[in-house]
Structure 1
Amino acid sequence: MKKTILILDDEVSICMLLQNFLSQDYDVITKNNPLEALEWLDSTIPDLIICDIQMPEMDGYGFLTKVRQRGFTKHTPVVMLSGRSESKERIKCYRLGAQDYLTKPFNPEELEELVKKNLYPIHYAIEW
């Protein structure tokens, strides 16, 4: 059974790109609206969430906070995705409970490694 990844980004092209990279190995669900994603999370718990920071209605920080406040998704790994590479942005995400931070434009190999690291943390390394 494939692991499920929720991708949340208001840019449809980014969702399609991420889905293209990940759908061979994972069940990928895309949402373009944080409120819609939160509603979806009421009935489903993904194995990983990849979330953009800059979105209308609710930004990624607000979404991450809501995810961490919910009992069922409290421990779901979250990778934040942003066009901003400043250290203060990363630190803010980590303090809100994100496991990782990926800067746009991203390297597909780095994306793949972050996904593996977060879905299979103990068995991540190819060689010990």
Structure 2
Amino acid sequence: MKKKILVVDDEQTTCVLLENFLSPEYEVVTKTSGIEALLWLNNNLPDLIISDIQMAKMNGYEFLKEVRLSGFTKHTPIIMLSGNKESKERIKCYQLGAQDYLTKPFNPEELKEVTKKNLFPIHYASNW
């Protein structure tokens, strides 16, 4: 059974790109807003969440806070995506509970490795 990844980004092109890149190995569900994603999370539990930060209605920080406050998803690994390369934004994501942070445009190979690291941390480490 494939691991399930929730992708949250208000840019449809990013959702399609991530879905096309990750779907050969994982089940990928895309949502175009944090609000839509939270509603989906009420009845579903992904193995990993990948979320943009700059989104309308609910930004990635707000979404991340809500996910961490939920009993069901508070331990779900989260990778944040942003076009901002400033370290203070990255630090804020870590302080709010994100496991990783990638800047856009991201390297697909780096995304693949960060995804594996978060979904299979013990197996990934054993390959070192």
TM over 0.5: yes
1:12-64 C-alpha deviation (Å, 9 max, x unpaired): 00000000100000000000011110000000000000000000001000000
1:50 counterpart residue number? 50
SS of equivalent residue, structure 2 residue 123:
coil
SS of equivalent residue, structure 1 residue 25:
coil
1:34 counterpart residue number? 34
1:21 counterpart residue number? 21
1:5 counterpart residue number? 5
Size of the alignment, in residue pairs?
A: 128
Question: TM-score, normalised to structure 2's length?
Answer: 0.98
Query: d(CA) in 1 for partners of 2:51 and 2:33?
Result: 10
Alpha-carbon offset, residue 126 of structure 1: 6.6
1:52-89 C-alpha deviation (Å, 9 max, x unpaired): 00000010000000000000000000000000011101
Segments of structure 1 that go 5 or more residues without pairing to the other structure are: none
SS of equivalent residue, structure 1 residue 62:
helix
Amino acid at match of 1:95: Q
Alpha-carbon offset, residue 125 of structure 1: 3.8
1:61 counterpart residue number? 61
1:113 counterpart residue number? 113
**Do structure 1's residue 73 and structure 2's residue 81 form an aligned pair?**
no
Amino acid at match of 1:57: K
- Which runs of structure 1 show a deviation greater than 2 angstroms over 4 or more consecutive aligned residues? 125-128
